Chains A and B, each alone.
Chain A
């Protein structure tokens, strides 16, 4: 379409095609939300300590580059929870319970890692699969409640966040093999239960990120190329129409929530089964009755990536990047929490960035059209664009 008209209305039509392309508008509205969020963070920094604001802000934006291994390591769990939220969102389900599913996945993975004795190559794979099953369990229950009893999945999955948190903390504290009371954390995992490292010095980055990206791509294929994916999206667009078309809505709800839970559970497994930079050690978990932040960050990732698996891959790396940058701002006296503020603001704006974006592009377009009005004929597209 673009080429046909390229000869005489080149500029206008490329603009029109661009702004009417769904992928582009998601991308540009995400960029706009990010921009506004970063500006907000910058203002907070100026208010807090004006003299360091520039250097602090440059840490936020560029600091992650110096710790690229860690950026990818910390992107892994939020990529998975992001997929968990985004996948359910495609069906119109809001899986706010990614935290609970993540925690359960982490516990199952830890349990297999500590308690089962398996051959070296098999141990970490089994632990990862166990993590997936743990998450699935906690996704399945809200799914069943939603499908069969019509209980709002938001409430159910929030309740399961708390249930999972208390349950896991209790189970870990009650298990002397997993829990070391003096440090009040879990012990170091056996060597063969850890996911192989990618060998970037000074970081925890491991095979998990590659698996996570592959899972994201698989999900994209499922959503785009399979009947299940089609039914899922159709249900998300219009529940009644898809019911009328004979799609099995209840089965799909349960299946979607179970898959979403499994994804979040994998996130927990990838996070906790990681080797650390210090030889022989591993990531540990501290059971202090706090809901896993990675679950909620997954919501941010999913929203920023517009629930699109490929978008989520990039948004998770971006969020992880500014989080790493945020921890570096403490070098010039800021608190890392500033990044959580920035992320929340980004989501707030991304909730209506699409609308703002449409309004803005309509405005710019009208301006351009007016400027070019002398040489051009009237355009039928103006109305639908605005």
Chain B
């Protein structure tokens, strides 16, 4: 039981960035824009979030307040960065994959450049701990308290809150309906008076906000508040895309997909702590490959009947009706 608690407690901070970023990717793709720049947006958000933490960490602010403020900073910077994608992909009708790739290439170089010039290091190192030993009252609930409210980060709770909000926005609001229409049949949406360009900007912007937050949460929950231009977010943006496809562009399924990958990754990094796996004597590198191999296998089984938004990846051109 101790092992299960341990795995869940360590899995959730990993799952939340994947969840948020995949939800962001979902918004973007549901509006019809393939957002391969998630990796770059995450790193951008993480960088500014960490920069904010670095500047305020000496002040008297409480760690959790800093986390929430840092989250807002990351969300804002993620949004700004995503505008570069929406400008190229929606306004200039450029190839969305190429633009996304260039945005991914840009940000690690910028971070390395900036950090080497300012701090003479590869990134930002903060020394504040966001770790929560136990949340008062809630942690006393039997089993659940131990699973979700002990030895965790505030990011986990915020992440689940976002999941609920996203589900409501996508399925229960006029905005969500219109957004989905733009990803399925933009010309039809346009003909009933929906501004496709605006909705696509909105979709990409939401993905920027969520990916920025996801990137910051990655830095908080996985790299201990530090951001490096070299390792970046270790492919989490791309993994989030896989999570999104595995989750069939639906919020609840995305949650389970994110948990699945986070579980495998946590397993890979805690092999030595689990006696059963440790005794098998398999090289730990195989476990590190496991999330990626599992992605391949899972996608191989699910992609045949994949339900991607029909108009994703195609720039909307009014005159082509």
Residues of A in contact with B (beta carbons under 8 Å apart)? 44, 48, 94, 96, 145, 149-152, 154-156, 158-163, 166-167, 169-170, 174, 290, 296, 299-300, 303, 335, 337-338, 340-341, 343-345, 347-348, 350-352, 355-356
For the complex, is B303 an interface residue (Cβ under 8 Å from A)?
A: yes
Task: Scan residues 50-98 of chain B and give those whose CB is less than 8 A from a CB of chain A.
Answer: 84, 88, 92-95, 97-98
For the complex, is B253 an interface residue (Cβ under 8 Å from A)?
A: no
Q: Is the CB of B235 within 8 A of A162?
A: yes
A141 to B244, CA, bound (A): 22
Which residue of chain A has the shortest Cβ distance to B246 in the bound complex? Answer: A155
Minimal beta-carbon separation of B172 from chain A (angstroms):
29
Minimal beta-carbon separation of B37 from chain A (angstroms):
10
A355 with B94, Cβ < 8 A, contacts A154-B36, A159-B295, A163-B293 known: yes
For the complex, is B211 an interface residue (Cβ under 8 Å from A)?
A: no
Interface size on B, residues (CB 8 A): 44
Minimal beta-carbon separation of A84 from chain B (angstroms):
14
**A contact face: mostly helix, strand, loop, or mixed:** helix
30 contacts between A and B (CB under 8 A): A94-B97, A149-B300, A149-B303, A149-B304, A150-B306, A152-B299, A154-B97, A155-B245, A156-B296, A156-B299, A160-B296, A162-B289, A163-B292, A167-B285, A290-B230, A296-B105, A300-B105, A337-B116, A338-B109, A344-B103, A344-B105, A344-B106, A344-B109, A345-B102, A345-B106, A347-B98, A347-B105, A348-B99, A348-B106, A352-B94
Query: Per-residue 0/1 for B211-252: is the Cβ within 8 Å of any A Cβ (1 yes, 0 no)?
Result: 000000000000000000111000100100110010000000
Which listed residue, B94, B103, B110, B306, touches A341 by the CB 8 Å rule?
A: B110
Task: Scan residues 98-154 of chain B and give those whose CB is less than 8 A from a CB of chain A.
Answer: 98-99, 101-103, 105-106, 108-110, 112-113, 116-117
A351 with B88, Cβ < 8 A, contacts A159-B292, A167-B289 known: yes
Which listed residue, A151, A169, A337, touches B303 by the CB 8 Å rule?
A: A151
Minimal beta-carbon separation of A342 from chain B (angstroms):
9
Which listed residue, A145, A151, A170, A290, touches B285 by the CB 8 Å rule?
A: A170
Across-interface contacts of A300 in B (CB, < 8 A): 102, 105
Q: Is the CB of A170 within 8 A of B283?
A: yes
Q: Is the CB of B300 within 8 A of A303?
A: no
Across-interface contacts of B108 in A (CB, < 8 A): 340
For the complex, is B288 an interface residue (Cβ under 8 Å from A)?
A: yes
Query: Per-residue 0/1 for B270-294: is the Cβ within 8 Å of any A Cβ (1 yes, 0 no)?
Result: 0000000000000101101100110
Minimal beta-carbon separation of A38 from chain B (angstroms):
15
Which residue of chain A has the shortest Cβ distance to B95 in the bound complex? Answer: A351
Q: Is the CB of A340 within 8 A of B285?
A: no
Other than A163-B289, A344-B103, A350-B98, give 9 A-B pairs with Cβ distance below 8 A: A152-B303, A155-B299, A159-B238, A159-B292, A159-B293, A163-B292, A338-B113, A344-B109, A352-B92
A149 to B305, CA, bound (A): 9
A21 to B35, CA, bound (A): 32
A151 to B102, CA, bound (A): 23
Minimal beta-carbon separation of B246 from chain A (angstroms):
10
Q: Is the CB of A351 within 8 A of B306?
A: no
Minimal beta-carbon separation of B43 from chain A (angstroms):
13
Which residue of chain A has the shortest Cβ distance to B288 in the bound complex? Answer: A166
A348 with B289, Cβ < 8 A, contacts A154-B97, A337-B109, A337-B116 known: no
Q: Is the CB of B102 within 8 A of A344?
A: yes
Q: Is the CB of A158 within 8 A of B245?
A: no
Q: Is the CB of A355 within 8 A of B296?
A: no
Q: Is the CB of A355 within 8 A of B92?
A: yes
Q: Is the CB of B93 within 8 A of A352?
A: yes
A300 to B97, CA, bound (A): 12
A-B pairs with lowest CB-CB distance, top 10: A340-B109, A344-B106, A352-B94, A347-B102, A352-B92, A170-B285, A348-B102, A344-B105, A351-B94, A337-B113
Q: Is the CB of B116 within 8 A of A335?
A: yes
Across-interface contacts of A296 in B (CB, < 8 A): 101, 105
Q: Is the CB of B102 within 8 A of A145?
A: no
Q: Give the residue among B109, B288, B306 with the most A Cβ atoms within 10 A.
A: B109
Q: Is the CB of A299 within 8 A of B101?
A: yes
Q: Is the CB of A166 within 8 A of B289?
A: yes
Q: Is the CB of A96 within 8 A of B101?
A: yes
Q: Is the CB of B106 within 8 A of A351?
A: no
Minimal beta-carbon separation of A72 from chain B (angstroms):
23
Across-interface contacts of A340 in B (CB, < 8 A): 105, 108-109, 112-113
Across-interface contacts of A44 in B (CB, < 8 A): 113
Q: Is the CB of B289 within 8 A of A347?
A: no
Across-interface contacts of B283 in A (CB, < 8 A): 170, 174
Which residue of chain A has the shortest Cβ distance to B298 in the bound complex? Answer: A151
Which residue of chain B has the shortest Cβ distance to A142 in the bound complex? Answer: B296
Across-interface contacts of A150 in B (CB, < 8 A): 303-304, 306
Across-interface contacts of A348 in B (CB, < 8 A): 84, 88, 99, 102-103, 106
Minimal beta-carbon separation of B263 from chain A (angstroms):
17
